[in-house]
């Protein structure tokens, strides 16, 4: 089956319209963009964790009257590193997560040579990135009930996103707190 991989850099509304036009024309869209990550009937997938959310596609096609086309998205690049690891630990009462990301310039669609300000520099704030890193995991860990996406409420995540002068490859430091009492009935917290 032919499909479109969408990795355009345009404003969100334009991206939304282009992706919907492809899906409406019968072509499945797999998107790297953030434009449709919070569209209620669009699954946001890390395949190892929530492939079962693909059941939303049936509801999406039905409500929009699309026969073959649909839209599926991937999450923000930084959460792809630590969410799969935390997923394996979730059942042990994962409660609170403090994250610091150290993100390469490739994540901004840039290179060190085309971004001279990044030479010998660190930028301790990436607009929008902290919020994405805190709320996108809750959709990944959410559940689909009667065609509706219900967000997870735990863990509570706090993130600091830092741009570092590295060409490729993000680094993440994760501190996780587990609610051992809720999980085991015994009174103890563990980091």
State which of positions 22-41 bind ligand NAP (CB under 6 A): 32-34
- Which of helix, strand or coil describes residue 157? strand
**Least Cβ distance, residue 58 to ligand NAP (angstroms):** 26
Choose the binding region for ligand NAP from 3-11, 36-44, 58-66, 134-142 (rule: CB under 6 A). Answer: 3-11
Query: Residue 20 belongs to what H/E stretch?
Result: helix 12-24
**Least Cβ distance, residue 170 to ligand NAP (angstroms):** 8
State which of positions 143-162 bind ligand NAP (CB under 6 A): none
**CA proximity to 77, closest of 53, 103, 100:** 103
Q: Which residue has the tokens 């449709």?
A: 36
Largest CA distance in the chain: 57
- Which of helix, strand or coil describes residue 5? strand
The one among 54, 57, 77, 164 contacting ligand NAP by CB under 6 A: 77
Choose the binding region for ligand NAP from 6-14, 22-30, 56-64, 133-141 (rule: CB under 6 A). Answer: 6-14
Buried b (16+ CB within 10 A) or exposed e, 63-85: eeebeebbbbbbbbbbbbebbee
The answer to whether 9 contacts ligand NAP (rule: CB under 6 A) is yes
With CB under 6 A, what is the number of residues at the site for ligand NAP? 12
Residues 6+ apart with CB under 8 A from 5: 30, 31, 32
77 has catalytic annotation: yes
State which of positions 85-144 bind ligand NAP (CB under 6 A): 106-107, 109
Q: Among the options 77, 87, 161, 188, which is catalytic?
A: 77
**CA proximity to 99, closest of 123, 126, 78, 125:** 78
**Least Cβ distance, residue 31 to ligand NAP (angstroms):** 8
Q: What are phi and psi of 151, to 5 degrees?
A: -75, 145
Nearer to ligand NAP, 10 or 21 (CB): 10
- Residues with catalytic annotation? 77, 170
Q: What residue ranges bind ligand NAP (CB under 6 A)? A: 7-10, 32-34, 76-77, 106-107, 109
């Amino acid at each position: 089956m032919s499909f479109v991989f969408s990795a355009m850099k345009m404003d969100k509304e334009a991206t939304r319209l282009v992706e919907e036009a492809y899906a409406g024309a019968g072509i499945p869209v797999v998107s790297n963009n953030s434009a449709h990550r919070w569209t209620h009937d669009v699954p946001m997938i890390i395949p190892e964790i929530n492939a079962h959310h693909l059941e939303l596609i049936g509801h999406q096609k039905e409500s929009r009257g699309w026969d073959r086309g649909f839209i599926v998205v991937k999450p923000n690049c930084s959460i792809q590193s630590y969410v799969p690891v935390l997923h394996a630990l979730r059942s042990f009462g994962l409660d609170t997560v403090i994250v610091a990301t150290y993100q390469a310039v490739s994540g901004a669609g840039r290179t060190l040579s085309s971004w001279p300000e990044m030479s010998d520099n660190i930028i301790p704030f990436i607009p929008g990135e902290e919020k994405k890193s805190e709320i996108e995991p809750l959709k990944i860990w959410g559940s689909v009930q009667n065609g509706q996406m219900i967000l997870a409420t735990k863990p509570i995540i706090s993130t600091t996103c830092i741009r570092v002068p590295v060409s490729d490859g993000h680094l993440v430091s994760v501190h996780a707190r587990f609610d051992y009492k809720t999980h085991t009935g015994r009174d103890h917290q563990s980091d």
